[in-house]
C-alpha cells in the first residue's frame, strides 16, 4: 500500500459516462482518489454518499474527488444516477490501477481467502505526491477526515 511521500501512480480509466479520465487532468492541483469494493453495497454506498454530501466543500477548496472500483462503466452509471453522485467513478476491471495503488490485496472473510479491494483513500498534492493515505478508511467518516486535513493545510 502506498503512503505519504510516495508518487501517486498515473491512471487512464473510463468514468460512469464512458469518458476516459486521466491523472493528467488533475495535474497541478490537489485531489482525492478513493478505492472501494463494489457499487450498491452498504459500506461503499455510505462512503459515496458521505463524499456526495461534502462535495460542495471539496469544490470550494478546488479539490476534485474520484472514486475507483472494479465495477463496469454500466454499473457505475446506474450507481451514480441512483445515488446522485456528482464526481467521477472510474472503472478498473483489470485492476491495474487498484494494484498500482496497492489496494488490491488478499482478504479473508469467514475463513475464505480471496482477492479484493481494501477500502483506501489518498489525498494527492499538486506535485503528484501523496500527502496523506487513509488505509482501511471508514465509510461514514472518511470524507470528513479528508476535508479536515485539507482545511488544516
Catalytic residues, by residue number, are: 44
> Beta-strand (E) ranges in 58-119?
65-69, 89-91, 104-109, 112-117
Using the 8-state DSSP alphabet, how is residue 152 labeled? H
d(CA 150, CA 7): 19
**CA distances from residue 17 to 5, 20, 36, 76, 148 in whole angstroms, order as listed:** 32, 9, 19, 8, 30
Amino acid at each position: 500500500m502506498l503512503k505519504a511521500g510516495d508518487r501517486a501512480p498515473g491512471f487512464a480509466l473510463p468514468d460512469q459516462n464512458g469518458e476516459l479520465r486521466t491523472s493528467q487532468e488533475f495535474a497541478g492541483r490537489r485531489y482525492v482518489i478513493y478505492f472501494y469494493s463494489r457499487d450498491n453495497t452498504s459500506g461503499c454506498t455510505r462512503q459515496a454518499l458521505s463524499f456526495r454530501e461534502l462535495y460542495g466543500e471539496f469544490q470550494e477548496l478546488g479539490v476534485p474527488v474520484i472514486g475507483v472500483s472494479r465495477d463496469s462503466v454500466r454499473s457505475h452509471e446506474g450507481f451514480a444516477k441512483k445515488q446522485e453522485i456528482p464526481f467521477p467513478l472510474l472503472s478498473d476491471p483489470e485492476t491495474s490501477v487498484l494494484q498500482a495503488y496497492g489496494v488490491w490485496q488478499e482478504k479473508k472473510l469467514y475463513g475464505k481467502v480471496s482477492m479484493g479491494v481494501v477500502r483506501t483513500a489518498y489525498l494527492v498534492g499538486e506535485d503528484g505526491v501523496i500527502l496523506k493515505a487513509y488505509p482501511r478508511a471508514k465509510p461514514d467518516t472518511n470524507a470528513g477526515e479528508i476535508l479536515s486535513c485539507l482545511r488544516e493545510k
